[in-house]
Amino acid sequence: MTRKKSFSDRLADWLPRLVMAPSLLVILVGVYLFIAWTGWISLSSSRMVPQYDFVGLEQYYRLWATPRWHTAVANLFIFSALFLAVTIGVGLVMAILLDQNIRAEGALRAVYLYPMALSFIVTGTAWKWILNPDLGIQKVVNGLGWESFVFNWITQPKFAIYTIVIAAVWQSSGFAMAIFLAGLRGIDNSVIKAAQIEGATLPRIYASIIVPMLRPAFLSVTVLLSYIAIKNFDLVLAMTNGGPGNATEVPSTFMFSATFRRNQMGVGAASAMMMLMTVAAIIIPYLYSELKESRDGQ
């Protein structure tokens, strides 16, 4: 006697794919089709409304001929380099200090991390007030007797971008700390003991053994912070709104104002594609290696 597959069994075979299908469709449209769409607009003559013609790379030429875009790209580099270096440095130091059997470690960790729960708009609002030269930090230091102290970077075109770095580091270093701490906790204690028996001092052990072992954590932190740096938009808007003048323009604010404020949709789309390509160049190899590793690990 042979029993055939029933209809409900057949349906059951397909059910997982059916359940997954809407999500996949939504992602295909919302991410990949939309990217292609933006790509098309960047190759069209769109200004106020989308035009679906083809003008080649004209918008990209126009984009790279815009001084404001050059400012934005330069700012992104300055911001990213400083932001990454300082955040990683501060995060690593905090993680190492916290890893020394600290009482109240939980409370301290919570304090370092809470800025991450805030909106960049809130962070920006707070720091804008703190850095206000008339009433903020500068005033406090002046009041303490140091009359000549000047800290008015937020109003200086040359220095305003650094104030954004300060606020961004404050917000994100707890995040770096959390990942480094997780990495430190994953290191086998016997390594430290072995090095101690060989007579190495604690700073030495950290510098030559522990920190090199944190390589995966460094990679993760670098990639994720780069992503935060590139998409940074709210913080700039809240702190300086791209100013003074356009001194703190970054690609994300450039894209937004070109598209929604200055009727240069094509240029805006071109700048968005530039951002996307930068992110993809960093993220795709990272994801690929992460996925490959976890598959090899199985």
Partner 1 sequence: MASEYGSAARSRMIGRAFIYGSLVLLAALYLMPLWVMITTSLKSLDEIYGGSFIGLPQAVTFEAWGKAWSQACIGTACTGLKPYFINSLMMVVPAVLLSTGIGALNGYVLTKWRFRGANLVFGLILFGCFLPFQAVLLPMAQVLGKLGLSGTIPGLVLVHTVYGICFTTLFFRNYFVTIPDELTKAAQIDGAGFFRIFFSIMLPAALPIMVVSCIWQFTQIWNDFLFGVSFTAGESSPVTVALNNVVNVTMGRKQYNVDMAAAMIAALPTLVVYVVAGRYFVRGLTAGAVKG
Partner 2 sequence: MATLEIDRVRKAYGNMEVLKEVSISIGSGDFLVLLGPSGCGKSTLLNMIAGLEGITAGQIRIDGDVVNDLSPKDRDIAMVFQSYALYPTMTVRQNIEFGMKIRGVPPAERDKATREAAELLQMAHLLDRRPSQLSGGQRQRVAMGRALVRHPKLFLFDEPLSNLDAKLRVDMRTEIKRLHQRLGTTIVYVTHDQIEAMTLATRVAVMKDGIVQHLDEPQVVYDRPANVYVARFVGSPAMNIIPGRLIEGAAGPELEMDQPDGGKSRISGVAVSEDARRQYAGKPVLVGIRPEGFSVAEPGQQAVQAAIEVVEPTGPDTLAMFTLGGVEVIARLAPRTAHAGQTARLAVEMAKVVLFDPQTEIRID
Within 2-21, which residues bind partner 2 (CB under 8 A)?
2-5, 9, 12
Instruction: Answer yes or no whether residue 125 interacts with partner 1 by CB under 8 A.
Output: yes
Instruction: Find the shortest distance in angstroms from Cβ 295 to partner 2.
Output: 16
Residues in 60-99 that interact with partner 1 by CB under 8 A: 93-94, 97-98
Helices 251-260, 215-231: crossing angle, 10 deg rounding: 30
**Segment near partner 1 (CB under 8 A); pick from 59-67, 77-85, 150-158, 269-277:** 269-277
Among 79, 127, 151, 206, binds partner 1 (CB under 8 A): 127
Residues in 6-45 that interact with partner 1 by CB under 8 A: 12, 15-17, 19-20, 23-24, 26-28, 30-35, 37-38, 41
Residues in 227-246 that interact with partner 1 by CB under 8 A: 227, 230-231, 233-234, 237-238, 241
104: phi > 0 → left, psi -120 to 50 → alpha, else beta; which?
left
Interior/surface letters 220-241, b for 16+ CB within 10 angstroms, e for the rest:
bbbbbbbebbbebebbbbbbbe
The token duo for 268 is 């805006």
Give the span between the Cα atoms of 112 and 106, in whole angstroms.
10
Let me know if 188 is exposed, middle or buried by CB neighbors in 10 A (0-12, 13-18, 19+): exposed
What does 5 bind: partner 1, partner 2, none (CB cut-off 5 to 8 Å by kind)?
partner 2
x-marked contacts with partner 1 along 187-226 as a string, rule CB under 8 A: ------------------------------x--xx--x--
Residue pointed to by tokens 């995966």: 216
Count other Cβ atoms within 10 Å, centred on residue 133: 16
